[in-house]
Homo-oligomer: A and B are copies of this chain.
């Protein structure tokens, strides 16, 4: 049995550490506390609570949640991704005017600080992490210029799902998108709106009953065989951070004991990192390994965005190169 002390145990430790080192959880709180008691599950949604709960998912556009109640039976949703898809389809099926109105409801990223008070609370939290306050004078000038150009060309404010985005992201996205045709940017701006809605939904719903899971597979491309008995660790990088599993591959190169993470309170949205002990493995195969191996331990960082999905994150590796991809 190679699956080490369970995720739950590690998570408890991490949470404890988190509480010790982060007395004021502030803006991270919603994300960290994603399985808190007071959040409803999808199956807890009713015609009575759905608009209160999800009315703010689409910016100042409660009509989406209202339409959800009107046209759908809340008890018919089986998962958070199905719920999100339904809300998305309501927006996608709306008229061009309604979509434009939705875009226009979004705040201008460039508005001055004193104007931020008028934003919805959700938007404020997200913008506070964008690093826009760190813009140099030059960057700010460029940003204002591009932002003005954007609004003049498209007729709606620049929208970017900004959680975790730096000022570099904002500037490069703005510079890239201002070149779009009017029709293309309308489509892309709506995609950003859906992305923001999805992130907000994940904060509102307890998705611990989701069906997603995480698997791995290691192929040795130098020898053309599955990589047997390779050690792998898995860390969660998002809060609550910490080691969540230690594994050994079996003779098919897969993890002993099934998925690395599966449902319950294990398979949480966030950032993770495998570490593969590849030099150890190749040493056991008799492949020559130089004094300081080109590849010794390989960190492989990836994000889990949809708690209902299967994430297969494999490694194809020789002593001189590797690749990974989202598999199935």
Binding site for B on A (CB under 8 A): 92, 96, 99, 160-161, 163-166, 168-169, 172-173, 175-177, 180-184, 186-188, 190-191, 195, 198-199, 202, 219, 221-226, 229, 231, 252-253, 269-271, 273, 277, 279-281, 283-286, 288-299, 301-306, 316, 318-328
Q: Contact at A199–B303, with CB atoms within 8 Å?
A: no
Q: Contact at B296–A299, with CB atoms within 8 Å?
A: no
From B169, B195, B269, B295, give the contact of A280 (CB < 8 A).
Answer: B169
Q: Which residue of B lies closest to A202 (CB)?
A: B291
Q: Contact at B320–A326, with CB atoms within 8 Å?
A: yes
Q: Contact at B221–A280, with CB atoms within 8 Å?
A: no
Q: Contact at B270–A292, with CB atoms within 8 Å?
A: yes
Q: Which residues of B contact A177 (CB under 8 A)?
A: 286
CA distance A160 to B191 in the complex (A): 24
- With A269-B292, A286-B180, A293-B305 as given contacts, are A322 and B320 in contact (CB-CB < 8 Å)? no
Q: Contact at A318–B195, with CB atoms within 8 Å?
A: no
- Chain B nearest CB from A281 CB (Å) reads 7
From B186, B191, B291, B301, give the contact of A199 (CB < 8 A).
Answer: B291
Q: Contact at B303–A295, with CB atoms within 8 Å?
A: yes
CA distance A299 to B198 in the complex (A): 27
Q: Contact at B305–A294, with CB atoms within 8 Å?
A: yes
Q: Contact at B292–A304, with CB atoms within 8 Å?
A: yes
CA distance A301 to B199 in the complex (A): 31
Q: Which residue of B lies closest to A177 (CB)?
A: B286
From B297, B298, B306, B316, give the contact of A321 (CB < 8 A).
Answer: B316
- With A173-B283, A291-B202 as given contacts, are A326 and B321 in contact (CB-CB < 8 Å)? yes
CA distance A73 to B48 in the complex (A): 66
CA distance A3 to B180 in the complex (A): 30
Q: Which residues of B contact A225 (CB under 8 A)?
A: 326, 328
Q: 18 new A-B pairs (CB below 8 Å) besides A221-B221, A321-B324? A: A92-B181, A99-B183, A166-B280, A169-B277, A172-B280, A175-B284, A176-B286, A195-B289, A195-B290, A198-B290, A252-B328, A292-B305, A294-B305, A316-B321, A316-B323, A318-B318, A322-B323, A323-B324
